[in-house]
Structure formats: C-alpha cells, structure tokens
Amino acid sequence: MTGIAKRPLSDATKSKILAVAAEILSMHGAVVGNRMCQDWSGSKDRSPKAVFTPQELDDISYNHEIENSDLKDYEQGVDMMHDEMVASFALADALRDMAGDALR
C-alpha cells in the first residue's frame, strides 16, 4: 500500500469491468472443463462454498441454469459450485447480469 489514492471509476466503467470479467470467467470455465479433476483448487476460504450462503448458491445456480439448460438441469438445493468449471460459468452469468448492457 503506497498511500496513493486510486482514481474513482464511473458506473459505466464498472459495468464494463464486470462484462469483461464475465468473459474471462467463461474462458476459464472452458479451459478447466478439459481437466480430469475440476474440484476447487484455490484457497478453500475463498471458494464459492465458503463465501456464499446456501440460498445464495441456489439463486446463482438457478439463474445459471436458466441460461445453461432452460432449468432442465436445475434441482433446488443442489449446486455444483465446488467444481471450478461450473463455478466459472455460473459466476460469469451472474457478472453478465450485473453488467447489464455495458458491452451490447
């Protein structure tokens, strides 16, 4: 920490950051989907299972499955957020929803 103040970002810039981050997560999901073991390999205390409540995980999963399968693969209370590929795609969808029309 240098003590130098960061420049504030506009809401439009923040939305664009979310949209680009969503693309990065989607690319990551495609790569980790090719691995044999896709279980969470990062810090356990920063994993989706540790960060989000069960209800939040269910909400994220529900919204993702609207995009992924028209809810055909959704089962209430069941999420696969321990899997890096699923977490990447589900969180990418959530970021796209948050970003709105930033890059459209």
Q: What is the pTM of this model?
A: 0.81
By C-alpha distance, which of 58, 62, 79 is closest to 71? Answer: 62
Residue 37 scores a pLDDT above 90 = no
Q: CB within 8 A of 37, min separation 6: which ones?
A: none
Note the pLDDT tens digit of each residue in 40-89: 888 889 899 999 999 999 999 999 999 999 999 999 999 899 988 889 89
- What's the token pair of residue 83? 């899997």
